Structure 1
Amino acid sequence: MNILETVNQSAFLALNAQPGRPDILLALARFCASGTIFIVPVILLALWFLGGREGHRQALFCTLNILIALALGYLCGSLWFHPRPFMMPLGHTWISHPADNGFPSDHGLVMFSAAFALLTLRLRALGLFVLLASLPVAWSRIFLGVHFPLDMVGAAAVAAAAVWVNKGVWQVCGPAMVRMCEAISQRMFCWLPARFTP
C-alpha cells in the first residue's frame, strides 16, 4: 500500500460514521448525499427561463461543463479502477450503492463542475453557493461509507480540468448550440407567460 492510499484510507476512517452516531446526523447526511445535487438543475433552469439570452448562454455553458466533467470522469475510471470502501471492505456503510468504481465521484463531478463553470462565468454568488454546497455532499458520501476522500479530491480536479476543455469547445460550438437549443425551447415552451424566456 502506497503512502497516498494509506492517507486516503486513514482519512476515510476518521470521517466515516461509526455505530452509535445520532439518527438525526445520519438522516442529514443521507439528505446531503442524495438531495443537495438537485440545486444544480434548479439553478440551470432558472438561468434558462429567467435570464434571457445571456441566461441561455450561461445555462448551456454550465450544462456542457458538467457533461465534459462526467465524460472525463468516466475516462479516468476506465483507466484506473478504485473500489469503494465497502468493497474492500473498510468502515461502515449506511446507504445502499452498487459495487462499482468510486473514483472520481459522479456527485462530486456534477457539483464541482457546476460551481467552477458558474465562477468562470463571473456568477460569483451562485458559484460560491454551489461550491459551498459541494462540501456537505463530499462529506456525507464519505461519512455514509460510499466514497473515499480521494474520490472527492479527484472529482474536484477533474471538474477543474473540464472548465479548461469546455472553454475550447465553447469557442467552436457554443453560439450554434445556443441558437439550436433556443429554437427547440421556444417551440416547446411558447405557452409560458411573457416573463419567462424560453
Structure 2
Amino acid sequence: MDSIVKSEPFHIQAYKNIQRTLLEKEFSPGEQLTETSLAKKLGISRGPVREAIRMLLHDGLLVQKGVHVYVFDPQLKDVLDLYLCKERLEPLGARLAASNIDEPGIKELNSIISKTESALSNKSDNKEIASLNTDFHSLISKYSQNQQLIQFMNLIRAKNIYMRNVLLGDFTRKENFIDEHKNIADAIINRNPDAAETLMKEHIKNDLDTWKIIFNDQEGDEKL
C-alpha cells in the first residue's frame, strides 16, 4: 500500500489506496479485512479506515456479514447482474456522447483508438490493452456530459475491472473489439446517436458472450 500524505483527507486517501489494492488483487476474494490491520498497513488511525471501508461497502467491492467485512467474491450471477446494468447505461452514454462531444473530445477518442491499435500490433501485454479499453469507455461516459450517468458508470466500471481481474486474470478479448471500438467512435464523431447506441449495445453483448463462454469452459474443466 502507498503511504498517506497530508495534502488530501485521510479517509479519501485510504479509500483510493484500498480500492487500488483490491483491483490489483493484493487481497484474495473472500478474505476478511479489519480496520486494525488496514490502519497498520496505511500508518493511520482507524477512523479514516472505517470511513474508507464504508465507502467500499457502498461500491460493492467489500461485503459485510454480521460484524465482519470481507473482500467481494464474485460469481457468474454477479457478472450477469452487472452486465444487465451495462447494457442499459453504456449505450445511453454513447448516444449522449454523439450529441455532446466537442473537438477536444474527438481528438481524445481518436488518440485512444490509435494507442489501442498500436498496443495490439506491438502485442503489448494484456494489462495495457485492458487499461486502454477502460479509458475508451470512460471517455465516452465523460462526454455524455451527464453527471449522474458518469457517477453510475464509475461505480460499475470499478466493479467490472475487479471482477475481470479476479475471474479472468490476464485475459482480455482481443478479437474484433478494436473494430467495434472504431465503429462506435466513428458513430460518435459523426454525431449519429442512433448508430452509437446500437453499436455500443452490440459491443456490450459481445463482451458478455465472452464471459459466458469462459465460464462454460471452466465448468467443463471442473467436470473432467
**Normalised by the size of structure 2, how large is the TM-score?**
0.36
Identify which of structures 1 and 2 has the higher relative contact order when contacts are C-alpha pairs closer than 8 Å and 6+ apart. 1
Higher strand share: 2
**Normalised by the size of structure 1, how large is the TM-score?**
0.40
